[in-house]
Amino acid sequence: MDLKPFKKPIYITRPILPNLQAMQDKLKQIWITKWLSNNGYQHRLFEREIQKVLKVPCVSLFNNGTIALLTAVRALNLSGEVITTPFTFPATPHVLSWNNIQPVFCDIDPVSLTIDANKIEKQINKKTTAILAVHVFGNPCNIYKIQKIASRYNLKVIYDAAHAFEVELNGIGIGNFGDLTMFSFHPTKLFHTAEGAALTGKKHELKKKVDLLKNFGIKNEEEVVEIGINGKMNEIQAALGLLVLKIKNKERMKRKLLCATYRNCLINTEGISILGEESNIKNSYQYLVIRIDQKKFGRSRNFIYSKLKEYNIFTRKYFYPLCSNFPYYKNHKSSGSKNLPEATKAVEEVLSMPFYGELKVVDIEKICTILKNLKTK
């Protein structure tokens, strides 16, 4: 096998794009109507389609995932403290701080890397109003245990499902759990609308409130009933979403094959494991994440990350550094590494590998061979 550096950079991901002519046809429709935003035809159509795909009772579309989360926090009237994970994208704790809420960091489960439900209760106090958990890399949280705790202490639950598009647990869409769930449609996601997102839930009254909040709180021309924001998805995003929906299954199938290739190539490599696939969970095929045990592999994650760059392979250290180590969070008592031993360990060991349908099986085989050759003998 030719192990020279790749000629073109290999990124962690590339967005899928519909046929350009199909998009031009959509744009033509939009041009004719001159309706570009504010719950137009494409938006209404796309919202209905997404509801079916995610198998949820209620959906509200948004301009991006961060604004959707920000709105979820408002819609549920959260205040005081919210328990969350440090092993996530900055958006997760930031939406709490932007709402003047203290994020309280809880350790993660060493296998799923989601919040450790067994460690949540000890962080609850009088100020706690909710749990904001992340289905990180598409791995579902321990939702039944989290729901039990939330019911016992009368807490709200928000799920950040930015990575969990179409994930199902025993056939149930992941957006049916908790009070509200956010799905991101950023171009780094398997399914995307260039920028965009959805909030899902079960209660129609709550959807009404979310829809008001994402539109400045405007009820009608005479009444503004909430302190809202502009979170609306526009017609071009919605039109793109309708077209990307048609090609996302093909991308899923390609990624399934690439995932199997990574597994076959790395299965016997001591010190490298791939984050799990479970039979009762429909996989999002969003990320392909490996974990490197430095003692067994002989090399650190950081060494591998840097070395792969020399081959034009651009992996990502998601989610390094832990959010609890950001300057404005690090002095909180929940941020100490003693409180977060598993997160502190995982964040030094995980690496997100190139994973998108444009890659060929031979590319993955080459990436894995280069990786395996880095092992100390």
- Supply the residues annotated as catalytic: 189
Q: Taking the complex as a whole, how short is the minimal distance between the CB of residue 263 and ligand T4K, in angstroms?
A: 22
Q: Which is nearer to ligand T4K, 297 or 319 (CB)?
A: 319
Q: Which is nearer to ligand T4K, 189 or 297 (CB)?
A: 189
3-state SS of the chain: helix, strand, coil percent to 5? 40, 15, 40
Phi-psi region of 16 (alpha: psi -120 to 50; beta: other; left: phi over 0): beta
CB 185 within 8 A of CB 65: yes
Q: Which is nearer to ligand T4K, 93 or 201 (CB)?
A: 93
- Residue spans of alpha helices (H) in 98-222: 143-153, 204-213
Q: Which is nearer to ligand T4K, 121 or 363 (CB)?
A: 363
Q: Taking the complex as a whole, how short is the minimal distance between the CB of residue 370 and ligand T4K, in angstroms?
A: 18
Q: Taking the complex as a whole, how short is the minimal distance between the CB of residue 135 and ligand T4K, in angstroms?
A: 8
CB 238 within 8 A of CB 264: no
Q: Which residue sits closest to ligand T4K, CB atoms considered? A: 65
Q: Which of 323, 311, 320 is nearest to 292 (CA)?
A: 320
Residue 230 tokens, joined: 């502009």
Give me the residues paired with residue 201 across strands: 58
Q: Taking the complex as a whole, how short is the minimal distance between the CB of residue 92 and ligand T4K, in angstroms?
A: 5
Where are any strands of DSSP class E within the chain?
Answer: 58-62, 81-84, 102-105, 128-134, 156-160, 168-169, 172-173, 180-184, 197-201, 218-220, 223-224, 272-274, 281-282, 288-292, 350-353
Residue 74 tokens, joined: 């408002």
Q: Which is nearer to ligand T4K, 14 or 299 (CB)?
A: 14
By CB under 6 A, name the binding residues for ligand T4K. 11-15, 64-66, 88-89, 91-92, 134, 160, 162, 184, 186-188, 197, 314, 318
Q: Taking the complex as a whole, how short is the minimal distance between the CB of residue 27 and ligand T4K, in angstroms?
A: 19
Q: Which of 126, 187, 185 is nearest to 161 (CA)?
A: 185
Burial track 44-54 (b if 16+ CB lie within 10 A, e otherwise)? eebbebbbebb
Tell me the C-alpha distance between 204 and 265, whole Å.
47
Phi and psi angles of residue 10, each rounded to the nearest 5 degrees, phi first? -105, 110
Residue 115 tokens, joined: 């919040």
Q: Taking the complex as a whole, how short is the minimal distance between the CB of residue 189 and ligand T4K, in angstroms?
A: 7
